[in-house]
A = this chain, B = another copy of it.
């Protein structure tokens, strides 16, 4: 794993509120802000942190399904509309299902490494509350191999895919302890979200989170192993940050202490058509994590804070194993024992994660990078933890462990 050819930094991050059910101000009956609102809010919050917006050389916009949620393509050009300083500059949109945000980060990093730019603006955005949930699920099914997987009777929605993973895991490693760990994952996510004013579950006041997390799934449904609380949110939101060279940081008037360095990343994409080789393992994510750690030249024990793709509680547990924090089958023990908690050995999703903060799909990978940046530079405010080690690590995952970016960031 070759090191990156020159230093690359992330700085000036900003996330919007993750809007959707759970937020007090969310009213599904009212017309709500659209794609541009979220793009503009995130971009302007980033640009407000730097000396001069004209210093942005290029832009990358990460979005999964605006074509269907918002009937909008050509998002590169919509990004150019977010600020006068962006007009007539190079912009591109990238997509890789729910792993879109990670691809956005990588594209910007490449631009800096290529010496085409010193400052690249990356924005992730998704606005999904434009359609009813059942139509939304059909849209998101485009993250899988739509043509083949819609056949065969079993409704093809992502909850069903991950319910199947949970079922396989229960069978191999024991259902009861895994279910308890899933409830513990939920409780950790909501607990963290309550500290993050931008989180969709910020207003959550459920007294006993573990109890609701233990709710029995409907055995007649197509998600017979998942309950409602196992699922991430349907969200509208955006996240943005700047990817910079050393020269870029200096030009922007940002000190090294305001930035994190990209220590390494792994980008691994598996075949959409074939079934995952093992339902109890995130094989692709594992490879991506190995790539990130290998390029950074570190061991996972040097990482002080994690952001992982918990589209479902079971995915969080599988991610913990993919990170190498627990052996296969032992993820539930680590989670139930509080190992991923704020005071645990491996604080994970301190922002709330996809279940607590929310999951504006194309934005999530960028949102994770912003939240790791916040933790590592000490700007996480209400959800700040004392990060005991120099690195943060993220997993941005698209589809059923198909399109994955993992990235190690160093403060």
The reply to whether A95 and B95 form a contact with Cβ atoms under 8 Å apart is yes
Please state if B274 and A81 are interface contacts (CB–CB under 8 Å).
yes
Interface stretch (choices A17-25, A70-78, A204-212, A335-343): A70-78
Q: Contact flags (1/0) for A27-44 with B, using CB distance below 8 Å?
A: 000000010100000000
Q: Which of A189-197, A216-224, A265-273 contacts B (4 or more CB under 8 A)?
A: A265-273
Determine whether the beta carbon of B268 is less than 8 Å from that of A74.
Answer: no
Partner of A269, one of B76, B114, B143, B268: B76
Which one of B70, B94, B147 contacts A34 once the chains associate, using CB atoms below 8 Å? B147
| Contact of A74 with B97 at beta-carbon distance under 8 Å, contacts A107-B107, A113-B114 already known | yes
Among A84-92, A227-235, A379-387, the one that faces the other chain is A84-92
| A270 adjacent to B80 (CB under 8 Å) | yes
Q: Is A103 an interface residue (CB 8 A)?
A: yes
Residues of B within 8 A of A109 (CB): 114
Tell me whether A93 is interfacial, beta carbon within 8 Å.
yes
Q: Which stretch (A165-173, A312-320, A397-405) binds chain B?
A: A397-405
Bound complex: CA of A106 vs CA of B267, how far in Å?
19
Q: How far is the CB of A381 from chain B (nearest CB, A)?
A: 33
Stretch of A60-68, A180-188, A301-309 at the chain-chain interface:
A60-68
**A158 CB to nearest B CB, Å:** 11
Q: Is the CB of A110 within 8 A of B114?
A: yes
Give the interface SS of chain A, mostly helix, strand, loop or mixed: mixed
Known A81-B273, A113-B113: A96·B89 in contact at CB below 8 Å: no
Interchain CB contact under 8 A, B90 and A267:
yes
Which residues does chain B contribute within 8 Å of A71, judged by CB atoms?
Answer: 141-142, 146
Q: Is A278 an interface residue (CB 8 A)?
A: no
Question: How far does the alpha carbon of A380 sit from the alpha carbon of B81 in the complex, in Å?
Answer: 40
A145 with B78: in contact, given A73-B95, A95-B95, A115-B113 (CB under 8 Å)? yes
Give the docked Cα–Cα distance between A177 and B163 (Å).
Answer: 66
Contact sample, A vs B, 17 pairs, CB 8 Å cutoff: A2-B115, A67-B68, A67-B139, A73-B95, A74-B398, A74-B403, A77-B402, A78-B273, A81-B273, A87-B269, A87-B271, A90-B269, A91-B267, A92-B103, A93-B94, A94-B95, A110-B111
- Taking A73-B97, A92-B96 as known contacts, 17 extra A-B pairs with beta carbons closer than 8 A to each other, sorted by chain A number, are A2-B115, A36-B273, A65-B67, A65-B73, A71-B141, A72-B142, A72-B145, A74-B96, A74-B144, A77-B398, A88-B270, A88-B284, A94-B95, A110-B113, A110-B114, A113-B113, A113-B116
A residues contacting B by CB (< 8 A) are 2, 5, 34, 36, 59, 64-65, 67-68, 70-81, 86-97, 103, 106-107, 109-111, 113-116, 139, 141-147, 267-274, 284, 287, 398-399, 402-403
